[in-house]
Chains A and B, each alone.
Chain A
Amino acid sequence: MMQRKRETARWIFSKELKDTTVVEETKEGEGRPYIITPLGTRIKRILLCGSVTSRNVEENMTRLTVADPTGSFYLSIFQSEYTPEVKASADTLENNSMVLVYGRINPFKTNEGALYFSVNPEMIIRADSGALNYWSIRTAHLTRRKIYAIREAKKNGAGDIENLVKLGYSRDEAESAINSLKHYGNYNVEAFLEALSMAEKSLVSGGKNAEVRDYILGIIAENSSDGKGCRYEDIVEAASKKDIDQSTVDEVLNILGSDGEIFEVSLKRYKVI
């Protein structure tokens, strides 16, 4: 019996999915269609990482919005007798929870003809800032390579897969570049590169946030030995000595709370778990 090939989960930023306008036609019984993104990626399945920015839990369906460094993915998780754990995982998430998700892309067209994409997760896993950092850096690298391949293909008119492979691009990247030129000849890849640079800058500041997070965690641990918890005012004062403003302290306290690193013992008093 011939083994059915597993559909590879591609790593793309939300911007690449949001800017997509091409959905391949399918014959009856072929299942979900492939979509072709502006960077030429032909996909059905995706692996994404980000933090939950909104959630709407209902009995039969949970909707999540997950933000990555370039925008948001929209997730729809249905109650299923085959994979009940997926909705159960989704229902335990809170805003700011970081997640790693792989799932299938579901295109839908409005009556006005606008095309939108949601993701139907097959797996939702809680992740941490290290996972988000790695996924973002890696996805930025893969995206940049696809854009460079498109640039090379443009130099050569319609492009040639074998030439791109000789230049060091994988066959997959070369095919993507040709797909991009075929379906999105006028797509502004330079604007995408700018968006990538912005995303990478936000990742660097995210790295700084990790240092701030460790520092604040240290302050709370040092000042909560009396059992009453560390006072919010003491955290803000200690943070100001390191040039960390109050709004950053608030943001980090929220993240530490949702990650289960600290809890609020009483009003505005925190303890490390």
Chain B
Amino acid sequence: MNIAEIEGETKGIDVTVKIVSLKQAETKKSSSQGVYYYGILGDETGTMPFTAWNFPTTLRQGDIVEIRNCSVGKYNDSLRIYVDSRSEVLLKPEAEMNVKRVYRNYKIKNITPKDLYISVEGKVSDVIKKNYEKDGSSREVTYFTLSDDTGSIRVSSFGREIMEGRTVKIEGAKVSEYNGRYRLTIFENTPVIMIDKAFDTGKTYDISDVNGPVDQISLAGFAIAISDRSGLLRRCNTCRKMLDDVRCPDHPDDGFFLDLFASFILTDGSGEMHSTCGKAVLSKLLSLGEQDLDPMKTRLTKREVLESLKKALYGRPFLMKGDAVQGENNLNYRVKEITELDEKGISKLLLEMEADLA
């Protein structure tokens, strides 16, 4: 059987495939410990993700294997080949195979590194070009933001020209995670196709819909549980670490600057999300100028700023825009814009909610 012929969940099939990608992970059970393998298998007709509970440890990416008596099941709504103790995996060292790559289409909000290569559509913005050194020669990398109607993601393009403002479909973008955010990487040979499509990027999401890192997403709700750590902070001029005192333990002579920070819970009835925002948002919200944050001139105290912050944030509905970033235990929402919801804003949300029920 070839990959294209697999149409649904099935058992006891034999396939001859190339290992397109191969990763190892540990099973997380309190009673036992072990490893399993996962990745992508492919043949001339297509590709499919796989999970192998039993797999020869000598196999490598690029090997061609015949897998007997494997099964096909569904995981996260997509078909997956499962290899277990009843399956037999035979290496075919002499065989050659050109794999036809097919990638699953993802909305940006749903991208996950569990699917390593994906297909995605969106509008290009914030294009920045930078040079880097490799093998003694200077090369160019282009960074840009790709946005669809569900969110945005940063993309690094190595050797692929990208135009600001274009709407594109990228086939085979590589997904990775860096500092709690998902990123895409494309290369010289990655197909990037111009498409004619408009995306409504202004949708406000339910917190319960945000299950992984995504940039530039709008959420609305009330701020509750503002942390007492919020307000006016001192940071070291050199390492930017938050200081309890006026001196940094590592750079005692380097002085400090004043910064603004807020940590709170955003609630919208569908869920809650830990949220933070910094000086750019808060100085506007609290109408504070540079002079208020000048350590030599300011008369503000930490307590006063915290009280003003509570007064400004509590008891009012807000529309926020920011990035959902994976923290140590849960997602953090880094708020970049904050607007109080007036009657017009509430009416717009009501229309979105009515459309959702239709």
Residues of chain A having any CB pair with chain B under 8 Å: 3, 6, 8-11, 47, 100, 102, 123, 125-128, 130-131, 133-135, 137-139, 141-142, 144-145, 148, 170, 172, 207, 210
Contact = CB atoms under 8 A, between A and B. Distances in A.
B316 interface: yes
B314 A47 contact: no
Nearest to B346: A134
Contacts of A127: 315-316
A138 B343 contact: no
A3 B343 contact: no
Interface in B195-245: 206, 208-209, 220, 222, 224-225
B314 A100 contact: yes
B315 A47 contact: no
A139 B146 CA distance: 33
Given A8-B272, A47-B222, A134-B220, 13 more contacts: A9-B272, A10-B269, A11-B267, A130-B341, A130-B346, A133-B346, A135-B222, A137-B349, A138-B268, A138-B353, A141-B353, A142-B269, A170-B206
Contact of B316 (A128, A138, A139, A172): A128
Contact of B222 (A131, A144, A148, A170): A131
Given A8-B272, A130-B341, A141-B357, A102 B317 contact: no
Interface string B240-276: 0000000000000000000000000101111110000
B343 A47 contact: no
Nearest to B274: A6
B68 to A, nearest CB: 31
B31 interface: no
Q: Which of A8, A102, A128, A135 has the most CB of B within 10 A?
A: A8
Interface string B322-356: 00000001000000000011110010011001001
Contacts of B267: 8-9, 11, 47, 102
Contacts of A172: 208, 270-271
Contacts of A207: 343
A3 B330 CA distance: 10
B315 A125 contact: yes
Contact of A135 (B265, B271, B317, B342): B317
Contact of A148 (B269, B315, B357): B357
Contacts of A138: 268-269, 349, 353
13 contacts: A125-B314, A125-B315, A128-B316, A130-B341, A134-B220, A134-B349, A138-B349, A138-B353, A141-B357, A170-B206, A172-B208, A172-B270, A210-B343
